[in-house]
């Protein structure tokens, strides 16, 4: 990921982060529409869950400049997701819902360059999570 892509993702996130609760609500609405099979995995209050997700995304987005420092927390999160019943194939739906939500939230700021930078960001996080999950059950 280039420095420009990191800066773009961080600038995009700074724009949507003040509306984190509505971004999260939009995200889960979309996720459960495109992947209804994951809905039963979520057992708690969805406002709280949305806050955990957007807080973690803030940490991740702001940590992109220092991936080595970020990776252990993301690995731990990947391992915890096994217990939530999350499977590798669910990551694609979550990524699609996240990109769609960013498109809604950012409007014309969601340029093709932004979409590419977010795709790399999400793929990086998802790969670290899935690899850690796989390693912990091997
Ligand atoms: C970059 C990807 C993801 C991030 C940043 C993320 C973030 C989080 C965070 C911060 C939590 C709170 C608990 C904890 O920290 O362990 C959580 C819980 C959870 N996540 Fe994720 N997650 C991601 C991917 C996914 C995927 C692909 C699924 C599949 C559907 C998923 C489903 C869940 C579920 C079911 C819970 C627990 C809900 C509950 O306790 O009721 N997550 N996630």
Residues 31-55: tens digit of each pLDDT: 999 999 999 999 999 999 999 999 9
- Give 84's pLDDT tier (boundaries 50, 70, 90): very high
Cα 31 to chain centroid, rounded: 12
Residue 130: what pLDDT? 98
pLDDT tens profile 97-127: 999 999 999 999 999 999 999 999 999 999 9
Rounded Cα gap, residues 116 and 137, in angstroms = 32
Mean confidence (pLDDT) of the chain: 97
- Average pLDDT for 54-83: 96
Ligand 1 centre to CA of 47 (Å) is 13
End-to-end CA distance of the chain: 29
Q: Write the DSSP assignment of the chain as a string of letters.
A: --HHHHHHHHHHHHHHGGGHHHHHHHHHHHHHHH-GGGGGG--S-HHHHHHHHHHHHHHHHHTGGGHHHHHHHHHHHHHHHHHTT--TTHHHHHHHHHHHHHHHHHGGG--HHHHHHHHHHHHHHHHHHHHHHHHHH-
For the cut 90, the answer to whether the pLDDT of residue 66 exceeds it is: yes
Percentage of the chain modeled with pLDDT above 90: 99
Give distance in angstroms: CA of 108 to centre of ligand 1: 28
Whether the per-residue pLDDT at 138 is higher than 90: the answer is: no
Prediction pTM value: 0.96
Cβ of residue 91 lying under 6 Å from some atom of ligand 1: yes
56 Cβ closer than 6 Å to some ligand 1 atom? yes
The pLDDT of residue 14 is above 90:
yes
**Does position 29 have pLDDT exceeding 90, yes or no?**
yes
Please state, in angstroms and rounded to a whole number, the distance separating the CA atoms of residues 75 and 39.
23
Pocket test for ligand 1, best of 77, 126, 131 (most atoms within 8 A of CB): 77
Cα distance between residue 30 and residue 33, in whole Å: 5
| Mean pLDDT for the stretch of residues 18-33 | 97
Contact (CB, 8 A) for 20 and 48: no
């Amino acid at each position: 990921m280039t420095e420009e892509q990191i800066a773009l993702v961080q600038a995009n996130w700074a724009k949507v982060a003040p509306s984190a609760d509505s971004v999260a609500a939009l995200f889960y609405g979309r996720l459960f529409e495109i992947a209804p099979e994951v809905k039963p995995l979520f057992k708690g209050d969805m406002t709280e869950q949305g806050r955990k997700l957007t807080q973690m995304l803030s940490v991740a987005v702001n940590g992109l400049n220092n991936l080595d420092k970020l990776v252990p927390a993301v690995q731990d999160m990947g391992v915890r997701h096994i217990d939530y019943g999350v499977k590798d194939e669910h990551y694609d739906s979550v990524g699609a819902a996240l990109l769609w939500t960013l498109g809604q939230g950012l409007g014309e700021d969601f340029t093709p360059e932004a979409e590419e930078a977010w795709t790399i960001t999400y793929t990086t996080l998802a790969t670290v999570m899935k690899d850690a999950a796989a390693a912990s059950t091997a």
